[in-house]
Amino acid sequence: MTIYAQYDRSGTIHALVSVRAPKDKQVGMMMVPKTGHFMAEIEGLALKTDPPSIEEVRAIAGRHKIATVIPRTKLTR
């Protein structure tokens, strides 16, 4: 199972998305976050239940922040 977080520039998590697919199959999806939000895969997240319960997901989102926030960049020539 893969877990993605939608978060803002301060690292506050606004949503968690879990995706389950067979290991031998490739699955594609597209997530469109709100303006000013970002999406990232969460690595090493140990869940107590499979699939995770709503209470567990809410607790994770409420107690944690994203440690490395995407920096602002610009293109130059």
Residue with token string 């389950």: 20
C-alpha distance from residue 31 to each of 48, 55, 59 (Å):
25, 23, 22
Report how far residue 16's alpha carbon sits from residue 5's, in angstroms, rounded to the nearest whole number: 5
pLDDT tens per residue, range 2-58: 888 999 988 999 998 888 778 788 777 788 888 989 998 888 887 887 777 888 888
Q: Is the pLDDT confidence value at 71 over 70?
A: no
Report how far residue 23's alpha carbon sits from residue 64's, in angstroms, rounded to the nearest whole number: 28
Mean pLDDT of 50-77: 82
Looking at per-residue pLDDT, the higher value among 28 and 63 belongs to: 63
